Structure 1
Amino acid sequence: MEAITKIYDNNIGISFHWKENNSNLVQLIFRDIGFHLTEQEIELFLDKVTDSKLQQNCATCSKDKGRRSILLQTPSNKVSLAVSSAELWQIDDLLRGTLFQLRMNHYLNGLCKN
């Protein structure tokens, strides 16, 4: 854990920056999947999560909250994920928490420079 700077974590995953890498990419990991995303791509991913939450209906939401019956688009047009309702809400929290912390860090770093 010394090689990373944690941004946010929850029950499903973690977001962080690699200390040795000076890029603005955020490493976002949940389940067994890893993404390298910009802040704008995280915002796009969050939009796609919101779309998936709005499109849930009786056919996709099951009494079994662990069933991966929801198709979640990712910022890459070539990658979609099958997720459960519970995972979708956790991914939503992971993305929102990451964006909040990134924006808070930008604000505080900008404020301290003055």
Structure 2
Amino acid sequence: MFGAFFIQMTFSAARGNAINNPSRVNAPIGSIPLIEEIFAEYNKNIFVNWPSAFREYKKLKPFLLEQAFVIPRPTPYTYSFWQPWLENYYGQGMPLIRYAWIDSALKESLGR
């Protein structure tokens, strides 16, 4: 999961000459202003405000799909579950779990 997340996080499939960008979308970087505007806003929020960063990415996704730069393959469903007392975790995979913390008061109030 982290591989796909990293591709999204760096926009490497939609910016410049990258191995994940075989269609050469937005190459050279800046040739599609919409992608650059959203990327700039996304970069302000990544690692600071995850929900806002993901909202920015979601704004771009319809544009990328409409342009059909790449025809996405279907992927199997994946699910992430975590306890409600695990804070600052949004299901993004194990490498980023180190930024999460446990709300001990909430954990105790739930009888855990």
Q: Name the TM-score class by shorter chain.
A: under 0.3
More strand by share: 1
More helix by share: 2
Q: TM-score, normalised by structure 1?
A: 0.27
Greater C-alpha Rg: 2
